[in-house]
Amino acid sequence: MWKGRFTQDTSSLVQQFGESVSYDWRLFPHDIAGSIAHARAQKVAGYLTEEEFSAIEAGLLDIRADIEAGQFEFKTSLEDIHMNIESELTRRIGPAGAKLHTARSRNDQVATDTRLYCRTQIDALVESLRGLQRALVNRAEAYAESVMPGYTHLQRGQPVTAGHHFLAYVEMLERDASRLLDARKRLNISPLGSGALAGSTINLDRHAIAAELGFDSVTTNSMDAIADRDYIAEILFVIALCGVHLSRLSEDLILWCSAEFAFAALADAHTTGSSLMPQKKNPDVCELTRGKTGRLVGNLVAILTAIKGLPLTYNRDLQEDKEPLFDSIDTLHLTLAVNTEMMLALTLREDVCAAAAADPMLLATDLADYLVKKGVPFRQAHELVGKAVALAIETKTPLDKIDLTTISEHYGNDTGEIFHLKRALDARTNPGCPNPRIVREQIARWQKLLSV
Ligand code: ARG
């Protein structure tokens, strides 16, 4: 493609080192769509005849069909997807193919293809996220009123319902989806026409090209448009963060499925056995979700590091953007799919959860609230309950069996009701609380939003 200036062929080691077609081949539908839009603009501007345009369009569509059918031979000697397609087009249709690259560079071409690819993938990822959200809402509904301890510092804190716990993850995933859609808005502008870095003296209608490709608008600085990989960094950040959310969910499930907690069980289909220990049932999907998150974070660091030292505009380093991008997108797709399936089959051991939540210590804060309602300042109430807790531990007596009236005159004979779990949950009437009524309202809200 650049033989004019050179007297030597590219070394085969350099070809091996520099090729990207082994992975960027997957940009082909976008590369072809971009080329057709670009060719159409050339026709409108008078640089291609009607016949030449038709030959280019038909040739590109044939190539697309061949790639889809697995009948296209990619050549690493042609470096990347762009040159593979262009060279094959010219081989097939002759001279018209040689006109396609007018007023275009691989620099604006790759930026266009990658933006189109990201746009498509964002839409698919948001769909997958919705799927996992629906599965979580499904479990939340099944266990809307199942009480369990809520933890801070992995120490029992206060009672919650399992429904509330599942919905916490629905919230996180909602933010991830909204971040992806936000990134989508920003990336959906056309860089085509930016050329190698400074546009072209051949002025094609950039807006028409953008409209054909479904872009909202065109980029407004050719140098920025060529050098910009922010959209990749943004997507990799959102994917890394989503991975972190899924990793935390995994960690909860790993704990819940341990003999020590025994709060939940995964289906056999979503666990693995041990080759040595016959009794084992391992939560490998959760562990792999947690483990793969390391790679998602690594991919974000890789792109940020690749960009940080680059002068404007294009530098070949930028070719290193694709492998982390593709890897993170593929990994998140599969992670979401397997977690969705696993979540739908998760069963909660409600009896074990209820027994753990029956620990009256979980309502020590409610007891302090009781004193506050009697007019005791909170700090003093905290101390008075602390004393009761210490006595309970010392005398090995459950907190609800301690005679509180011996500790302070502020305790009346009505403290018994504080230790009713249902009352404790029902008493939390503010938005966002684990009150089963509110949890049910939230489930209904999510079902509507996710069109369950
Ligand atoms: N394969 C290249 C990439 O992904 C396409 C752009 C090449 N541009 C160039 N000037 N060598 O970055």
In this structure, which residue's CA is closest to atom 12 in ligand 1? Answer: 319
Q: Is 274 a catalytic residue?
A: yes
Return the pLDDT at 315: 98
CA distance 257 to 266: 7
Share of the chain above pLDDT 70, in %: 100
In this structure, which residue's CA is closest to atom 2 in ligand 1? Answer: 319
Residue pLDDT, tens place only, 188-202: 999 999 999 999 999
Please indicate whether residue 86, judged by its CB atom, sits closer than 6 Å to ligand 1.
no
Exposure string for 145-182, b = 16+ CB within 10 A, e = fewer: bbbbbbeeeeebebbbbbbbbbbbbbebbbebbebbee
Domain ranges of the chain: 12-102, 107-207+216-355, 358-449
Quote the tokens at residue 216. Answer: 């909202």
Q: Which of 274, 275, 382, 420 is catalytic?
A: 274
Query: Domain spanning 358-449: which CATH class is it, in words?
Result: mainly alpha
Return the pLDDT at 1: 72
Return the pLDDT at 175: 98
Give Cα separations from 87 to 66, 101, 389 (angstroms): 15, 11, 79
**Average pLDDT of the chain?**
97
Return the pLDDT at 217: 98
Instruction: Taking residues 270-294, report their average pLDDT.
Output: 94
CA distance 327 to 32: 23
Return the pLDDT at 356: 97
- Is the pLDDT confidence value at 278 over 90? no
CATH of 107-207+216-355, one of 1.20.200.10, 3.40.50.300, 3.30.950.10, 3.40.718.10: 1.20.200.10
Residue pLDDT, tens place only, 126-185: 999 999 999 999 999 999 999 999 999 999 999 999 999 999 999 999 999 999 999 999
Residue pLDDT, tens place only, 376-389: 999 999 999 999 99
Q: What is the dihedral of CA 30, 32, 35, 37, to 10 degrees?
A: -70
Quick one: angle between helices 28-44 and 50-68, nearest 10?
Answer: 180
Ligand 1 atom closest to the Cα of residue 110 is 5
Ligand 1 atom closest to the Cα of residue 80 is 1
- Is the pLDDT confidence value at 290 over 90? yes
Ligand 1 atom closest to the Cα of residue 79 is 1
Q: Is 270 a catalytic residue?
A: no
In this structure, which residue's CA is closest to atom 4 in ligand 1? Answer: 319
Topology of the domain comprising 12-102? Fumarase C; Chain B, domain 1 (1.10.275)
Please indicate whether residue 110, judged by its CB atom, sits closer than 6 Å to ligand 1.
yes
- The reported pTM is 0.96
